[in-house]
Amino acid sequence: MDEIQGEIHEECGVFGVYSQENRNVASTVYYGLYALQHRGQESSGIAVAYANKILYYKGMGLVADVFANGNLEKLPEGDIAIGHVRYSTTGASQLLNAQPVVFTGKCGKMAVAHNGNLINTKQLRDELIADNAVFQTSIDSEVIAILINSLSDGDILQGVKRACSKLKGSYALVIMTADKLIAVRDPYGIRPLCIGTTITDVVVASETCALDAVGANFLRDVKAGEIVVIDSNGIHSHMMDNLPEKTSMCIFEYVYFARHDTVLDGYSVYEARKLAGKLLAKNYPVKADLVSGVPDSGNVAARGYAEESGIPFVEALARNRYVGRTFIQPDQMQRENSLSVKMNPLRSNIRGKRVILIDDSIVRGTTMRKIIKMLRDAGATEVHVRICSPIIKHPCHLGIDIQTYSQLIGAYKNEDQICKALGADSVRYLSIDQLLESCHGVDGGFCLGCFNGQYPYPLGEYETDKLKLE
């Protein structure tokens, strides 16, 4: 179990709806999850509350596949429902670990969906097991669920408050009981969570693009350290105790994870990425014939670079839109194989041309190396790489699949060495200050741990991997 637990670092999407009507709320969650599919492609699930019961369905794969063949229609009509899309690391990708976590406890039927990653899971699990708790999965989300139940004394709000005082790490939660929908964001606001409304519904989602998908109007973001209870009495806010002085939202949400049409904590992801491209053009110019982005996450920044530099934006890579993201495939072989069918060079556009290639980040370097080779094989005379974030030098233990220093090309290579390893003509990254400038519209602080090693919580045991590497 300890070996499995050490591998659980996930990036997921959560969605919930509370309706004044008894209706097909599962379909609302389905469309919300569909809009959040980019946050997790390995499993998905929906749970519906009806008549003091909870019925759920979970499966491995994409939302459309899991709920095909009448599986969505099997879920009953109700007034509350939550859903989850999950990405996990190798070793934890199994149906047993799919969410939401559904169980019967002191507050009756409950369901919990979680985006993020706890860093004190083992300690909490051991304490709960010593108190006779029984675990069915290897995920920290079940630890959260059982901890809430054990501390609730039949009052779900008290259970959530008490549990949150013990949790360390990142968490955006949607929790459902027979009569309540609860949204929770960790004290640092590391993972995003927002609230929207329709005439009859209150909707909670990881990103605003999911609100748009179900016709909900954005109401506000859930605050860092806030517990929002939605029930027949309306929407009520409760704040956790002893909150930190500043927030530390994961800046990688702006760099990569969030969909570009999302607004996070009041600032457009699209605007942040476009400004990042402009800053690359201002600070790291190079003579070239065209600017192109690695689709899709690099395209917005590439257009910003083109606008600022005056070099035309031209598509260099065609993307097969039926293939998911390569960075969040569960193992390296799948990442590399999926790239071969995911992208194809547009030879007529790049043959004999000097290409500036814009991407959001470089993690392992294997994907970028193959893309550069693709472009050269298709006739590009030069390939200059520009990256909309700093060099990723440190692992993340707060919800992104960057577990160890040995996975990161930037942990042991500088810019010039990375350029040589990738086979590019030049490679330039934004600095941390430049990345922060691209997100200038956001109040509060950011977690920059993967760039500078400074996290809201101590890195702790993860330092051992760096020592081995050195």
C-alpha span between 71 and 346 (Å, rounded): 40
420 by Cβ neighbours in 10 Å (0-12 / 13-18 / 19+) ranks as exposed
Label the pairing between strands 108-118 and 181-185: unpaired
Among the listed residues 12, 194, 388, 439, the single catalytic one is 12
C-alpha span between 355 and 376 (Å, rounded): 10
Beta bridge partners of 446: 249
CB 193 within 8 A of CB 172: yes
C-alpha span between 175 and 103 (Å, rounded): 12
C-alpha span between 201 and 193 (Å, rounded): 17
- What phi, psi does 41 have (nearest 5°)? -125, 5
C-alpha span between 12 and 17 (Å, rounded): 17
12 in active site:
yes
C-alpha span between 3 and 10 (Å, rounded): 16
Residues with a catalytic annotation lie at 12
